[in-house]
Chain A
Amino acid sequence: MIQCPNCKHQELPGALFCSECGTQLVTADTLTSPLANQPIEPLDFDEQESNPTVLPAQGPVVPVKNVVISLHIVNTDRTMHLTGRSEYSLGRIARGQPILPDFDLSEFDAYNQGVSRLHAAIKVQALRILIMDLGSANGTRVNGQKLVPNVEYPLKSGDLIALGKLKIEFQTSTD
């Protein structure tokens, strides 16, 4: 038997989706995004602090918990720092909503900027940071490039994310 990571329901081997909660249990065979074929950039570290000569060839392996994500809301003086988790969802909180985003953008006029309640997710992995549009109504762009929903794209420090019309500058650093 296999277990659904979401609701712990037991499924027969060969099941593709959990029959209890609909969670996908397998991965697809092709990379569906055109960007996914590009070389993936390792995390952008502050090179003055780390000594490049001792680093392994593909970049430093940094424990996930040490990565700090900074999101600067463009045209405001606000920067939000996220740390300690491997995945953050971005959106806005509305009344009667069953699933809340980790990072609420309501105070930045998110509704009028076209931000969906669950708009996009940022995932932190050992060597890279990814962003995925969660099927939002108005789409997500990175540096002007529109993302295909539910497909992961690499993010690097300095990228400009647009959730609908709301622009956010992305930075990473380590503790």
Chain B
Amino acid sequence: MEHYSVLKLPFDATPAEIRAAYFDAVRKYHPDAQNGEGDGGRFIEVQQAYEVLVDGKRRAAYDRSLPESAQETSATQVGVRYSRTTIHRSGEPQLIYALLDLSCTRKIDPNELPPAHVCVILDRSSSMRGERLDMVRANLNRLIRKLRSSDVLSIVTFSDRAEVLVPPVALSDPARIESVVMGISAGGATEIFQGLDLGFEVFKRYAGRSNFLKHLILITDGHTYGDEERCYEVAERAAVEGISIHALGIGYEWNDTFLDRLSSLSGGNSVYISAAEDLVQFIEQKIQSLSVNYARKSELVLELPEHVTLNYAFRIQPNVSPLEVNFPIQLGPLEYGRNTSVILEFKIDQLQSVEPEQIIASGRVYFEIPSKTIPIERQFIEIKRPVRNTWNKEKTPTAILTAMSRLSLYRLQEKARKEAGAGDIESSSLHLKYLASRFMAQGNQDLARTALMEADHLQKHQRFSDEGEKDIKYGTRSLFLLPDPELKKL
């Protein structure tokens, strides 16, 4: 196997990166490793790769032996925009926002696009019976008809146990798969771990073509009990393999906090299916995004100085989702022609240094690009600002202000949910009312009404309604999909 890929290194890896990657791999694959996978064959590959790459001469000779395509220049780019031009020297904490834009600078060559393996994990518990299952069947058939002939589909169904309904197959005979889909019947309880784990196994067993894009779509309508932690573990392993999990909740009796965490751990997002159109829209958008998918995963690793904290991370495009603030942060797939945009809120506790410039965070963004000979690309980023002694009033870049105008509402509903959870009904309902005023001021009458009704419900029942909490949360998220008001002038 190709040495750089064995160690998951970019072609331009530095000696320090090579050593770090080697130690990581040893911990994972050494036959005596405590918590690793103990894979003897893999361990020998790791050893061989390291011995070649760490030695400058042998590495140069090895590089010459690689096909020319291995040396092609990077087509990924990471841009940073800031909420302020400067930060200020102060004993008092301050906030600064950075908007990261990940983009692919190369033009699309359809032949270069890798095929996708889509695994659908479908909850077939008894609550899915009837309309819901009909809706899912119809949309699975839509997916089957629209995937490319080079793509691969697999379907896992689960209730309190899971089975592989359709093993990974190329879509040469869609009619046959459609007939299997029509035969799905409902029954049993919901144990998400069963389905998720089997779905992940399906990906692992189908390792024949490693350059696939890997998408896992979990469709459920219920709560799972007691297996959440095991689900998170699967999601973390999926992230390592470059599998992104999209979690779709049908109706409103499911746990959005759980599905959010599950999907964001792997770079995906959760989607609220309140009506059949939502599912149609998701499938259409998924097919569209598969056809322009460049990197199957991207992740962010940052090092922060002691007095700086990353308060919040949120992806505003393409799949709107809060991100887990644990490094590496999974940023999800990167598409051709559409940036992945992430907003970060940093808090600087105090700034006493006399240096004219302060590093707020420094680190790397990794991309995994299946179409490349050496699939890993790495971009260094440095988030830093000049330091001034005084606090100057300044105007905020429109892109950041637009993003934050929506994010501030999202965080307001998060705050209200948290307060209600902690029993602080008064604060929670006050925040819902503020939220309603904001929605109203933006002309979002429906959301404003929903928020007010929820405040009412909260006063009466001391908790959010299942329906209201999702309507407000995903309604606020959908604001990010609206065209920016300032674009209208163009």
Contact = CB atoms under 8 A, between A and B. Distances in A.
A17 to B, nearest CB: 4
Contacts of B69: none
Contacts of A24: 401, 405
Interface of B: 83-84, 87-88, 90, 92-97, 347, 391, 394-398, 400-401, 404-405, 408-409, 411-412, 415, 431, 433-438, 440-445, 448, 452, 485-486, 488-489
Interface residues of A, number: 36
A15 B408 CA distance: 10
Contacts of B412: 19, 21-22
Nearest to B97: A16
Contacts of A13: 88, 90, 92, 94-95, 391
A136 interface: yes
Contact of B434 (A12, A22, A26, A136): A22
Interface of A: 1, 7, 12-22, 24, 26-30, 32-34, 96, 98-99, 116-118, 134-137, 148-151
Q: Is the interface of B mostly helix, strand, loop or mixed?
A: helix
B485 A98 contact: no
A16 B445 contact: no
A27 B395 contact: yes
A108 B405 CA distance: 34
B408 A22 contact: yes
Which 6 pairs between the two chains have the least Cβ-Cβ distance? A135-B443, A17-B408, A14-B95, A29-B395, A21-B434, A22-B438
Contact of A12 (B94, B395, B436, B489): B94
B95 A99 contact: no
B442 A135 contact: yes
Nearest to A33: B489
A135 to B, nearest CB: 3
A136 B489 contact: no
B441 A12 contact: no
15 contacts: A7-B434, A12-B92, A13-B90, A14-B95, A16-B83, A17-B408, A19-B411, A22-B438, A26-B401, A28-B396, A28-B397, A29-B396, A32-B486, A98-B448, A99-B440
Nearest to A1: B92
A148 B437 contact: no
A136 B401 CA distance: 21
Nearest to B433: A98
A96 B452 contact: yes
A27 B485 CA distance: 15
Contacts of A33: 489
Given A34-B489, A148-B485, A149-B443, A19 B452 contact: no
A81 to B, nearest CB: 26
